[in-house]
Structure 1
Amino acid sequence: MKYRYLGNSGLRVTEITYGNWLTHGSQVENDSARACVRAALDVGITTFDTADMYANTAAETVLGEALKGVRRESLEILTKTYFPVGPGGANDSGLSRKHIMESIDGSLRRLGTDYVDLYQAHRWDYATPLEETMVAFADLVRSGKALYIGVSEWTADQLRQGAALARELRIPFVSNQPQYSALWRVIEADVVPASRELGISQIVWSPVAQGVLTGKYRSRHAAPTGSRATDGNGGAEMIERWMRDDVLDRVQRLGRVADELDLTMAQLAIAWVLQNQNVAAALIGASRPEQVVENAAASGVVLPPDALAAIDDALGDVVERDPAKTSLESPVDRVRTDGWGTTP
């Protein structure tokens, strides 16, 4: 398993990172979830990503239980805050000082640790002044509850604003966590160049496009039983954008590229995102240990130029590249109407 530095920092993370969104605490039984975590450790993965809102805090609990007994210093544990947790009260979401301070304590308790290696703003908060958020993050760093700070799905301009305050507060702002895959390349035009300028890496989620790039979906009318496209707990909704016959037909063409490289289609998809040097890690999820083993084998794979060109040719115009899509990821239901705050 290869490691990469996270942003312009001394922290190294495994370039294949285990994430438990849409699995632990919801789609996968706890015994299977623990088996997947053990499989990740066995193949050399030491970096684990979660969030307080995954399965409404249950995912953090499952991950903490699965990692119990593992030397803490040998792990990199990442979590996030922003989305509603608990009963969804007035201050149970967002990036206010109150919510951040309460959220980190809950996350540490559930994860069974005194600190997280990376604490991330799960989205941009239009209702809370950025200064309030960044000062709260700075206090967490200085208290030792978080070692580094990151964000998820921030635009290039938002990253610049956050980085400016982080420099002023002298805290390590090192990462962004966007969606990125051979089908979804919206970060390439603006977010990646800004991140390189700012010393920020990407920890990318959904490198296999919610499973579409594995090639298992051949028709939108015939999803395999038990697959994400048939899941009623959020999976089907997330994958819906790719469940079009034109997309699925194009994806099938990648099978030949994978075969020529002696890779599975999932390995090809994960290796593809890792060819981008601004990507520090690709997040993988799993419902079975063997999926972890298969996906981890993408670590260290170098795709030759002709293979990269063949991937582009195969996918053609079904690739989404519009950089404006990033700004749509942060909910606007928290926009203020009292004249304060920021506007989307």
Structure 2
Amino acid sequence: MNVTQPQELQGPRSPDPYLGPFLLGTVVTAISFGILCLQCFNFLQQSRRMRRSDRARVLIVLIWLLSALNVFSATWSCYLFMVTFFGNLASGVLGPIPWSVPTIIICSALSNSVVQGWFAWSIWSNFGKSRSLAVVLFLGVLTTCGFILAQGAKVAAIGQFALLHSVDWLLYTGTALDFVVNLFVTGAMGLYLSRTRRSPLYRWDYLVTGPVIYMSHTGVLCLATAFLVILIRVVRPNDFIYFGIFIPYSTMYANALVGFLNSGVIPDDPAAKPRSQHTLRGLSVLGSPAKPSSEHVIGSDLRHALDVGIESQELGDLPLAVRVETVVEKDKRMMVL
């Protein structure tokens, strides 16, 4: 493969490899942010009913704020290059780096660290709670965040687009580490998703929903994005195509996490102990009074059963209390219809 060596930019002849990536990346980021707003709204709206902790709500709000700053910075960059420097592209491409570019990098690093940390905690809590696994996962998340933050700080320090090649080693190292961490997270969450009875993958339309759920909820798209950032930067080092791919990365990753949380497949709070069971008291069978020994324990993995579609599970596999609740809910739905 004939790889072009990075050189200082010399008077761009066409705006396509410079303005185009910023515009397309910003459009994709705006669309992803709109979806994220809807998912965050659903998460916060259901927080009281689902008994979600304040810590989980704060983290979701933090992810939303970082994503909002990310899309605002990307929009500002597009405005700067397409309006402020209209007709004088060389001044924008060869001139000073605006504050919005390192802001995008820093916001992406912080948002991705929160998302990956949440996924890492979920993997650790659902795969035996191994200390070595936790150390490796969180060390990888922190190291990745550190390299990408250093890249953002270095980009702000050099101040010139023509000198961006001097931070390539930070770009390659941080993105490669991010790719490795994301690969492990994607594989583990894909395995967990395929084994979870509460997963929407167990519905009848598996062939249609399966690939979509895997791509959107396990970070497969984000994994491909990280790979493309490195590949395009190596092949096309003298334009901004790689950065246009990088802009929507964190927003897509945030959508994967919040979508997973709204589906109820993984715990809502990455620091609280999981609620292992709920007890239904006062249930009598065939008119006999309930006794403490006859209490029906309902697993916490069934608390989202109605949300994900109770019809997708066999009633014979559910406890008696859940079967009773299911019949009552179905009767209510029929009365409404």
The verdict on a shared fold, with TM-score over 0.5 as the criterion, is no
- Which structure dedicates a bigger proportion of its chain to helix? 2
- Higher-RCO chain (CA-CA 8 Å, sequence separation at least 6): 2
Q: TM-score, normalised by structure 1?
A: 0.22
Q: TM-score, normalised by structure 2?
A: 0.22
Choose 1 or 2 for highest CA Rg.
2
- Which structure dedicates a bigger proportion of its chain to strand? 1
